[in-house]
Structure 1
Amino acid sequence: MFARRIAVIGSGYVGLTTGACLASLGHRVVCADVDEAKVERLRRGVVDILEPGLPELVVENQAAGRLEFVLGARDAVAGRDGEPVEVVFLCVPTPMGEGGAADLTAVRAVATEIRQLLPAGCVVVNKSTVPVGTAEATRKLLKRRDIAVVSNPEFLREGSAVHDFLHPDRIVVGSDAQDAAERVAALYSRLGAPTVLTDAASAEMVKYAANCFLAMKLSYVNALAELCDVLGADVADVTEGMGHDRRIGQAFLQPGPGWGGSCLPKDTNALVQVAAAAGIELPLVTASIATNERQRHIVVDKIADAVGGDLAGKRLGLLGLTFKAGTDDLRDSPALAVARLLRDGGAELTAYDPGCPAAVPGVTDCVTVADEPLRAAKDADALVVLTEWPEFRSLDWGAVAGALAGRVVVDCRNLLDPDVLRRAGISWVGVGRR
């Protein structure tokens, strides 16, 4: 494999993981960001996001001279030591904009800024999740016939992003310039993963299609859990029976308080908007979004039932605020969405999350953030599990029982062992479980 000179624009979650992992594969990578303080921290090897293995990769590859950090996109594409950059990855935010469509402001701004600085023959890669047609729009915006644009969507799960990058299920590369697609695919050759080479529009569609399918699967299992509650079936047994079917599989069959995070909410809404613009309806996706919103209210009703039917004046301890375990990401967290509904119902909330050790102004204002789980449980009428952190299973449940005013745990993730709690004198309420 030939080592390439690579620029990564944007050193957030996707950009930093991409840059550090590409450097670990032997490429020379420069990562850029507009946040001067962040760039200085990264130069010192300080990684702000909670992602196993990422800080070590950053430090190791900086020491080896394969990874560096600069302020601003212009410096990143300028080249180093007289060697021009060969591939530029755009890893900038594409948040949900007005009406649910993806906001491509950052993509357009970076493309405009660097278009005259790119060396001839360079390849620009859209790594961010973008709507179908963005590669073509980027190519037109660059106004450079000597620059190819490639779509190379990421499939990184927060909490296992480094592992996912280095052990991918597949690599998808799309471009209307076949040679450019092959050059980008070659960057990953050491990984030995199945590679899908296609056109740019199809590559862009793959990411939305995959995430929306996963969202539909999660909404489906949450609807099944509600039905199991009514009919007296056990959703754990139901999903086990389903999951052994190779056509279905075990993944994404765990009920909970709804799905969230930085990807699924914006990607489902974006695909609906893209389809609407093309005159197509996607009722399965829109129903999944509605089911997800409803799930949060179902969970709140379950919690209210556990404390006597009325949340007003009740003190609740919450275990979990992040959208999933293994990350410190609070974006579109279903745990926080449930917390806000509980607060609106009049409950007083104290929460503990290993990934969120202190309050985040403007984000966690609906709760008091505790620094350890017993503080969340103290004098609570009920304890509510909202994020599936494995360490919650091994809490001292005898001590928790002693701290609680009402000895009931509402386990919205079906994470805990009901027998362990019962032996500690605590009533356990699950989702879709007998």
Structure 2
Amino acid sequence: MSTTIETSATSLLRFATAGSVDDGKSTLVGRLLHDSKSVLADQLEAVERVSLGRGQEAPDLALLTDGLRAEREQGITIDVAYRYFATPRRRFILADTPGHVQYTRNMVTGASTAELAVVLVDARNGVVEQTRRHAAVAALLRVPHVVLAVNKMDLVDYAEPVFAAIAEEFSAYAASLGVKDVLAVPISALAGDNVVEPSAHMDWYGGPTLLEHLETVPVGSDPSREPARFPVQYVIRPQTEEHPDYRGYAGQLASGVLRVGDAVTVLPSGLTTTVAGIDALGRESDIAWAPQSVTVRLADDLDISRGDLIAAGAAPVPTKDIVATVSHLNERPLRAGDKVLLKHTTRTVRALVKEISYRIDIDTLQRRSGAEGLNVNDIGHVKLRTAEPLALDDYTDNRRTGSFLLIDPADGTTLTAGMAGEAFEAVHGDDAPGASEEEDWV
């Protein structure tokens, strides 16, 4: 039996890259992969062949990640590209997000699970509108760490005052958004300065290279400090001669730690019991921690099915009335009165969009009230009414159990990503919807 929380020899960091068009993001990602020796030999040979064919002496590292550009030229829908690489110190999942303003929704997708965001700027242009937009999205999604990569320092003669002015402006803006951890790094992705190896041209910079920071930034949080949340995905009843009375609840622990003997509450029913056993990878254990996938056995036979939430510690109060900050992802507008499906963890229920309170102007961070609806890439505040009670945490407290999706009931298309509570401001007013007459939908 395992009695302690085990740690991997090399931890995992999920991070997202964002930047305006032509700021050099493709070259940066290519340089990061190349200099960390994460590029296969045949890939590098192909890039070198194409570069030589164009008359370039050095390989164009942007070609390692320019698949999205080719897709855009062919009129194919742009999506987030995920890349995987590792160093001896850490494993990485990189979400490479497009830079165009019309693909802001893709930045939301890529950053939704990220623990760090790399925001790229061109040293010649400094902080621009898209830079502020990406910083605001990172703050909205509660990405805990942000890196400002000031690129193309070689084109401003590696001037420290240029870097210092950009870093100061961005840090002040990020602080106004509530971002607590910001590191600015002067780089040249084309020349390789401060990406993986320290720069010989910027001895005035005493901080880490980009890769050094990615390898050492704190990852995750202590699960023991978070309340346990276990969404039930599947009920296991083998009914074999060996285990005639076995009843287990399988799923992935969204947050916190569960131990045998813990008192738990099943939501939304509110029934209480204790954890009788935990099965992980075919073996019994007396502890499980996020994000492990396990089977939980309870001391009592309760009416539990897929979509129920097993919670230890302070449990959220189930409700049918939800206020949320949302990012609209679909070309079809979201309007008050729309009937949708709401997917929260493993539970999907019918819901009604009762009100679109306001739209957030990401450029100025101002509320724009009176919005008739939300269009693609819009971020706003909505009030929803669900047919069944849901146990949502506030997104500012728990990114996993405070998030949800709105889905088109007609064809299953994802419409909107939601963050329960006042995720943008972390200010909770009296926004609960009144007990008006329910629509037939809910």
TM-score (norm. length: structure 1): 0.30
Higher strand share: 2
Higher helix share: 1
TM-score (norm. length: structure 2): 0.29
